[in-house]
Amino acid sequence: MKKILVSGKVEGIVLKSNLPINFLGTVDKKTGIISDQNHDLFEKSIKNSILVFPSGVGSSVGAYTIYSIKSNNSAPLAMICQKADLTVATGCALANIPLIIVTDDEFSSIQNGMKISLDTNSSNPLEYQ
Amino acid sequence: MLELTKEEESALKGEQGEIMQMAYRILVATGEATDAKKLIPIEWAHLSGVNYNTIGDAGEEFLSNISKDARVKVKTTLNPMGFDIDNVKNYGLDENFISKQLSIRNSYETMGVTPSFSCIPYEIFDIPKNGTQVAFAESNAAIHANSYDNLKTNKESAFSALASAIVGKSPFSSLRKNDTPNITIRMKVSDPNELTYGMLGFFAGKVGDTSVNISGLVEMDKRQSKAMCGGMGTSGTCAKFIFSDGDPDCEKIDFDEKEMKNVYDELNTAEKGDLITLGSPQLGLDEISDLTGKLKGRSFQKRCMVFMPRTVKEQARKIGYTNELERAGCEILSDCCTCLTPLINKDSVDAVTTNSIKGAFYLKNSNGIDVDLKSLSQIIEDETR
C-alpha cells in the first residue's frame, strides 16, 4: 500500500475496473449506477462495493457526486485507487468513505468479486479472503 | 507528509469551529493526495459545484448548512449554474429546480463569493502577476491558468477549491512548483481547427499524468486553446500543457489521424443534430465578435443556443453583437453552459450539433443525448443560409 487518504475499517466484495471513472455525469448520484456505455462498469452499481479503479478523472464537480451518493446511501464501502486524484480524495474525505492508494502490483492482484477487509489502523491494512 | 503549523493543527482539531475543521480535513486529504509538504497562501479561488443539475439535493443542503458560518477569505469566483434567470421561463424548467438553484446561488453569495457564473474566469477577470498561486476547480480553467496565464493551481476538486477559499491556503503540490512532464505528445494532424484541438486535448488527458509536453503546434486562437483545455479537463487528471519537445529521454507519442479518429468515434454518435450549441467553455468577447462576423447576413435554420458569461453578454450588447446574433436566430444564454445544462433534455431532443468536445462528453453521458461533432465553420456552412 502506498498511502491512506481517508481512514476507516470495512469488509466487502471488490468491484474492479481497469478504466478511470469520471464521477460527474457518468455515475448516477441517486443510485450509484454507471451510465457511460464506453466504460467496463456500464449499468453496474457501485453501491456497497469495495470499488477498485485506477483513478478519478474529469470534472472537479465529481467530488459532489461522491458526497451525494453517500447521502443517498448508494456509495461504495471503500475505494482503492492506483493513483491519487483530488476529486476522489476530497469527495471521500467529506463523505467519510475510506480511500487508499495501492502499488501497481497490488492493484493488479486485486480481482473482481474478491472479498477484502480493509482496516487502515491495522499493521496489515488490506487482507484478501 | 503534510506538515502543519500550530495554528493549522488547532484548526484541524476543531478548535476554530466546525467549518474550519472540515476545510482543513479537505486540505489535508488534498495534500496527501498530491504529496505536498506544507500549505501556502493563495490569492484567488474559483469554485465549481454550482449547477443544481450536478450537485443535487445533497449539495444544495450541504451549501445551505455551511453558508450559515463559512466565509471566503480570498477573492472567490463561481462556475455556471443551470439556467439564465432572464429567460428561464422559455425553457419549461420545473419550479423545484429553479428554487433549489436560487438557494445554491444564495448560499454562495452569503459566503462572500462573486456570482460570476462563468467557466472562463481567465477571460473575464484581470489575471494576477506571473506565478500567482490560485485554486481553480473547473478543469478547463485550471488547465488554462497553468498553461496560458502563468498562474499556478492544482486541478482542484469542487471541495478542495472551496476549502482553499475558506482557509485562504492550498497544499504546495507538484503543479504549484515546476512540474516536469514525463510524456511529449507530437501533434501530427495538419490543418487543425478547434475541434481537432479539442480532440487533441481529450487524447492528452488520457495519456498524460499531471502535465504533458505538446510539440508541433502552430499559433492557436482563443477558441482553439479553450477547446484544448476543455478536452483535456474532461478525460484526465492532467492540469498543464507545456509547448515543448521535452527532454530527449521523455516518452514520445503521436497524435495522428488514427488517434484523432478514435476520439471522434468515441464522442460523435449522430449524423445530425436537432439543435446546435456553441459554448463549452462559454464564449468570450473575441469569439462572439468572430461568430458575428462569420454570420453576416446568414441565419440558422434550426435552434442555436449560444452560451456566454453575463459580463460578456453586457459588453456584446453594447457593441451590437447580441442584436446580430438574435437576428441570426441564436438564443443567447448567460450564467449557464452547454455542459450539464438541464435546458437540453432527451424528452425533446435526440441529438445536438456542437464543436465542443467537453460539451459532447457530458451531453452524451449525463443528459443521454447523442452528439454530432462539427467545427464552427462547418456548422455555419451546413446549418445557416
B residues 291-350 closer than 8 Å to A (CB): 340
* pLDDT on residue B174: 81
Q: Which three cell numbers stand for residue B287?
A: 469569439
Read off φ and ψ for residue B129, nearest 5 degrees: -65, 155
Q: What is the CATH number of the domain that holds A115?
A: 3.50.30.10
Task: Show which residues on chain A lie within 8 Å of chain B, measured between beta carbons.
Answer: 3-6, 20, 22, 24-26, 29-30, 35-36, 38, 55-65, 67-68, 70-72, 83-87, 89-94, 101
Same structural domain for residues B93 and B234? no
**Any A CB within 8 A of B40 CB:** no
Same structural domain for residues B17 and B142? yes
The string of pLDDT tens digits covering residues A68-92 is: 999 999 999 999 999 999 999 999 9
Q: What is the CATH number of the domain that holds B34?
A: 3.30.499
Rounded CA gap, A59 and A61, in Å?
5
Is 90 exceeded by the pLDDT of residue A22? yes
Residues in chain B: 385
* pLDDT on residue B175: 84
Pairing mode of beta strands B241-243, A99-101: unpaired
Q: What is the CATH number of the domain that holds B346?
A: 3.30.499.10
Which uninterrupted H or E stretch holds B229? Answer: helix B222-235
Rounded CA gap, B340 and B355, in Å?
16
Same structural domain for residues B141 and B29? yes
In this prediction, the answer to ipTM > 0.95 reads no
Residues of A annotated as part of the active site: 59
* A-B contacts (CB, under 8 Å): 145
Nearest-5° Cα angle at B258, B255 to B260 = 60
Rounded CA gap, B194 and B227, in Å?
6
Same structural domain for residues B130 and B60? yes
Same structural domain for residues B192 and B316? no
Residues of A in contact with B58 (CB under 8 A): 29, 64, 67-68, 70-72
How many structural domains are present in chain A?
Answer: 1
Is 90 exceeded by the pLDDT of residue A94? yes
A99-120 average pLDDT score: 96
Same structural domain for residues B141 and B16? yes
* pLDDT on residue B266: 96
Last residue of a domain, one of B176, B210, B233: B176
Quote the domain boundaries for residue A100. 3-128
Q: Which three cell numbers stand for residue B229?
A: 483545455
- For residue B220, the 8-state DSSP code is -
C-beta atoms of A25 and B362 within 8 A: yes
Same structural domain for residues B95 and B223? no
Same structural domain for residues B369 and B312? yes
How many structural domains are present in chain B?
Answer: 3
C-beta atoms of A89 and B48 within 8 A: no
CB contact at 8 A, B369 and B275: no
Last residue of a domain, one of B115, B147, B176: B176
Residue A25: pLDDT band with limits 50, 70, 90: confident
Same structural domain for residues B128 and B194? no
Q: Is residue B1 part of a domain?
A: no
Identity (one letter) of the amino acid at A121? N
Last residue of a domain, one of B266, B282, B304: B266
Q: CB-CB: which of A6, A60, A83 is closest to B48?
A: A60
Other residues' Cβ atoms within 10 Å of the Cβ of residue A54? 17
CA-based R_g, chain B, Å = 21
Read off φ and ψ for residue A74, nearest 5 degrees: -120, 15
Same structural domain for residues B16 and B60? yes
* Average pLDDT by stretches of 10, chain B with 385 residues: 95 96 95 94 98 94 97 98 96 96 98 98 98 96 97 95 98 86 96 98 95 95 97 94 93 98 97 97 98 96 98 98 97 95 92 98 94 98 97
Question: Longest Cα pair distance anywhere in chain B, in angstroms?
Answer: 67
Q: Give the contacts of B87 (CB within 8 A, at least 6 positions apart).
A: B331, B333
Residue A110: pLDDT band with limits 50, 70, 90: very high
Other residues' Cβ atoms within 10 Å of the Cβ of residue A113? 8
* pLDDT on residue A59: 86
Quote the domain boundaries for residue B299. 268-383
Same structural domain for residues B193 and B302? no
Residues of B in contact with A90 (CB under 8 A): 26, 29-30, 157-160, 163
The string of pLDDT tens digits covering residues A33-77 is: 999 999 999 999 999 999 999 999 988 899 999 999 999 999 999
Rounded CA gap, A98 and A90, in Å?
11
Same structural domain for residues B133 and B242? no
**Any A CB within 8 A of B139 CB:** yes
Q: Which three cell numbers stand for residue A111?
A: 480481482
**Residue B157's closest chain A neighbor by CA?**
A60
Rounded CA gap, B161 and B47, in Å?
6
Pairing mode of beta strands A3-6, A99-101: antiparallel
Rounded CA gap, B40 and B259, in Å?
40
* pLDDT on residue B168: 98
Q: Is residue B275 part of a domain?
A: yes
* pLDDT on residue A60: 87
* pLDDT on residue B207: 96
